[in-house]
């Protein structure tokens, strides 16, 4: 039985670990040709070498904040695969700082990675996807804090709020080219970074999730699969929360 993304050409940013690696794995399981980006050389090879998929995973190391590197990467995909069907804008950085202690350097870095680079990649990718008669899908990873805000996350939540807004605008602008643009807003997700956090504080936070557990990276990956596949072909401009019904 063919996979849900059979022969679809996909680019996933920030795929060296965590949610990005889970999305890349899930897509490859469904038969996609996955270009898995990270800015840390070797990180994609570490997990991709251990697994066998019906699809293929091509590590693609570049810094998304460097416009010329992003452009070269997209040109490489177009030359090698002749097309692009799906972009998952997952790469992001997070610094949590209380008001009064917000570092300008961290603030600029978060906007550069989480927002400006995402817009840049979306622009380049949309021009390539627009050449497909059947269009394609762009998925931007935001966050529950972009919808609801959170103490200590003023800047991070502002960047993720921007992701939500730009998703809605891009969806309107790209609809006539059959390019769907949606966002997934994960709640607290079990990643290496999360497990290093203060455990008592973590339990307190889990108590605020109605389903009583953190999201697994695979939960986010499954939602991405839905939005990348033809099952969601009439859905665009939407923000899909994947948060276990968090109270927050």
Partner 1 sequence: MNNLEKYRKVFRSIFDVEDDVLNENFRFNNVEKWDSVAHMSLISALEDEFEVLFDTEDILSYGSFENGMKILTKYGVKFEE
Residue 50 CB, shortest distance to partner 1, in Å, is: 33
Closer Cβ to partner 1, 9 or 21, answer by number? 9
Q: Is 169 in the site for partner 1 (CB under 8 A)?
A: no
Assess 213 for contact with partner 1 (CB under 8 A).
no
61 is catalytic: no
Cα-trace Rg, the chain: 17
| Contact region with partner 1 (CB under 8 A), list: 43-51, 52-60, 75-83, 148-156 | 75-83
Torsions phi, psi for 90 (to 5 deg): -110, -30
Single out the residue of 63, 69, 78, 168 in contact with partner 1 (rule: CB under 8 A). Answer: 78
Among 46, 61, 71, 132, binds partner 1 (CB under 8 A): 71
Kindly state whether residue 74 participates in binding partner 1, applying the rule CB under 8 A.
yes
Residue 178 makes contact with partner 1 by CB under 8 A? no
Helix/strand/coil (H/E/C) assignment for every residue in the chain: CCCCCCCCEEEECCCCCHHHHHHHHHHHHCCCEEEEEECCCCHHHHHHCCCCCCCEEEEEECCCCCHHHHHHHHHHHHHHHCCCCEEEECCCCCCCECCCCCCHHHHHHHHHHHHHHHHHHHHHHHHHHCCCCCCEEEEEECCHHHHHCCCCEHHHHHHHHHHHHHHHHHHHHHHHHCEEEEEEEECCECCHHHHCCCHHHHHHHHCCECCCCCECHHHHHHHHHHHHCHHHCCCCCCEEEECCCECC
Catalytic residue among 35, 58, 61, 156: 156
Which residue number, 62 or 156, has a Cβ lying nearer to partner 1?
62
Write the binding mask 84 to 123 for partner 1: x where contact by CB under 8 A, - elsewhere: ---------------------------------------x
Per CB under 8 A, 233 contacts partner 1? no
Q: Does residue 67 interact with partner 1 by CB under 8 A?
A: yes
Q: How far is the CB of 59 from partner 1 (least distance, A)?
A: 21
Shortest Cβ 232–partner 1 spacing (Å):
26
Instruction: Kindly list the residues in this chain that would bind partner 1 in the complex (CB under 8 A).
Output: 67, 71, 74-75, 78-79, 123-124, 127-128, 130-131
Q: Cite the active site residues.
A: 156
């Amino acid at each position: 039985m063919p996979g849900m993304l059979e022969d679809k050409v996909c680019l996933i940013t920030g795929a060296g670990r965590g949610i990005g690696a889970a999305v890349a794995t899930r897509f490859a399981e469904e038969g996609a040709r996955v270009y898995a980006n990270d800015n840390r050389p070797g990180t994609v090879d570490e997990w991709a070498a251990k697994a066998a998929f019906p699809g293929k995973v091509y590590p693609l190391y570049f810094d998304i904040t460097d416009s010329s590197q992003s452009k070269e990467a997209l040109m490489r995909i177009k030359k090698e695969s002749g097309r692009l069907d799906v972009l998952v804008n997952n790469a992001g950085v997070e610094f949590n700082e209380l008001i009064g202690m917000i570092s300008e350097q961290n603030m600029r870095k978060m906007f550069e990675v989480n927002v400006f680079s995402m817009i840049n990649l979306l622009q380049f990718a949309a021009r390539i996807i627009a050449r497909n008669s059947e269009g394609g899908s762009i998925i931007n990873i935001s966050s529950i804090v972009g919808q609801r805000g959170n103490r200590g996350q003023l800047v991070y939540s502002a960047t993720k709020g921007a992701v939500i807004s730009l998703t809605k605008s891009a969806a309107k602008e790209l609809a006539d080219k059959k390019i769907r643009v949606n966002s997934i807003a994960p709640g607290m997700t079990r990643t290496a970074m999360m497990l290093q956090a203060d455990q008592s504080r973590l339990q307190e936070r889990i108590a605020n999730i109605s389903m009583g557990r953190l999201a697994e990276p695979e939960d986010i990956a499954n939602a991405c699969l839905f939005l990348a596949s033809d099952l969601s072909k009439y859905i665009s401009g939407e923000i899909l929360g994947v948060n276990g019904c968090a109270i927050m």
